Amino acid sequence: MSDVAQDFLVSTHLLFGWGASGRTASLVQDLGTRCFIVTTAGTTHRTNLLRGLMDELELVGCACSVFDRVTPNPTVSEMEEARTMALDFGADVILGVGGGSSLDTAKAVSLGVTHGGPLWDYRIGGSRSVNGSMLPVVTVNTTAGTGSQVSPVAVFTNEDTHSKMAIVDRKLCPAFGVIDPALTLSVPPRVTAATGFDVFAHAFESIIHVNHSPLVDRLAWDTLGLVAQYLPRAVAQGDDQAAREAMAIADTWAGICITNVGTVLPHGIAMAVGGQVSTVMHGEALAAVYPAVLRYSCSAVVEPLARLYEILEAALSLPLKDTLLSAVDKARRCPDLIELFLQRIGLPDRLSQLGLSEDLIDPIVRGTFQLPDYRNNPRVPTHSELMQLLEASFRV
């Protein structure tokens, strides 16, 4: 029950379905004539997808310029470089193509072109705010993970201070989000698992967030059901179309969940980990701390954990079903099932498995406390409790 009126924002026009990316050029055409494309570093530039998109944009009379140097944890400096390029090109529409990093960079470029830099000043708690209109952003996501196609968030890392932060403003929501499950068929297992577990985390953290909303809760529980059932299939067999479509839906729903509620302690820690070690994928950092955070938070979220236990128990097809367990027992055992689920999809369940040194515990604690997520956790950790939690997440 909620006694507080709550907003529910879905401001992106979505185009969902197999082959949907074939309509991207016509969507862009309606928004501008000079399209600045933001995409992932490396081979993406040479993919059929990008070539096809550029050919189609040319056919409809759109000039294109491409920034293809986005990295998995995009840095402030690469976003500034993209912003300068977009300004020089005279872009009037931004197209983000790729995973969450490309989509987030596209949003940041749109902000930087219209509002000026430095972009770091627009981070949560920064000195500047989004106060005017931005260039329209169209997204074509090629992974099922961050929900960036519907969210008002752009995450970036300051490589000088090792801080991973976010810009959050509803004007960052893309104008159009093209969601084509076909584009995810070739995503390798490790990336599928990491991005898919991010979906899981978005949904579950929306549920246990202190400001959770009944409008979001139902969406989030359905999302968790999809992830539990289909993520292991998508990891095991990348060309499983039903699994890929389910994860594309789950990713989008989870993006709507965090847009309207937010994330809690695991995301705060995972952001701090990413700020310290840029090579760790966001979803892997989440996985590595999830069991420890759930054990720490258990007493404050018995009902959600008990319900999650039942979802995971069904999805994992465990041989011994104990139907007589109390809610408290299920909640206590839920972190064990999370570990089994993570093992099933090949993700780490300890920070030590990421090759990190325990020397990083101190800066990770400091980084976590710089973000608002920990304050919205159902159990708010003290400094020493967070130290102990992280130490636990290093132990086998």
Q: Which residues bind Fe ion (CB under 5 A)?
A: 198
Residue found by looking up tokens 């004539």 in the block? 33
Smallest separation (angstroms) from Fe ion to the CB of 266: 9
Q: Which residue is nearest to Fe ion (CB)?
A: 198
Task: Pick the closer one to Fe ion by CB: 198 or 284.
Answer: 198
Kindly tell me which of 232 and 274 has the beta carbon lying closer to Fe ion.
Answer: 274
- CA–CA distance, 4 with 25 (Å, rounded to integer): 42
Q: How far is the CB of 289 from Fe ion (least distance, A)?
A: 12
Query: At closest approach, how far in Å is the CB of 88 from Fe ion?
Result: 32
Cα 148 from Cα 362, distance rounded (Å): 30
Question: DSSP for 3-64?
Answer: -S-------SEEEESTTGGGGHHHHHHTT-SEEEEEEESSGGGGSHHHHHHHHHHHHTT-EE
Tokens found for residue 146: 């961050």
Torsion-angle region of 17 (φ positive above 0: left; ψ -120 to 50: alpha; else: beta): left
Report d(CA 94, CA 34) in Å as an integer.
9
Which one-letter amino acid corresponds to residue 367?
G
**Residue 362: count of CB within 10 angstroms of its CB:** 11
Q: Which is nearer to Fe ion, 173 or 182 (CB)?
A: 173
Nearest approach in angstroms of CB 315 to Fe ion is 21
As measured in angstroms, the least distance from the Cβ of 1 to Fe ion is 28
Half-sphere exposure of 238 (CA within 13 A, CB side): 13
| Residue 124: CB minimum distance to Fe ion, A | 15
> Which residue, 21 or 105, is less far from Fe ion as judged by CB?
105
Nearer to Fe ion, 68 or 373 (CB): 373
What would the DSSP string read from start to end of 166-214?
A: EEE-GGGS-SEEEE-GGGGTT--HHHHHHHHHHHHHHHHHHHHSTT--H
Question: Is the Cβ of residue 85 or residue 254 nearer to Fe ion in the bound state?
Answer: 254
Q: Which is nearer to Fe ion, 24 or 370 (CB)?
A: 370
Minimum gap (Å) between residue 22 Cβ and Fe ion = 29
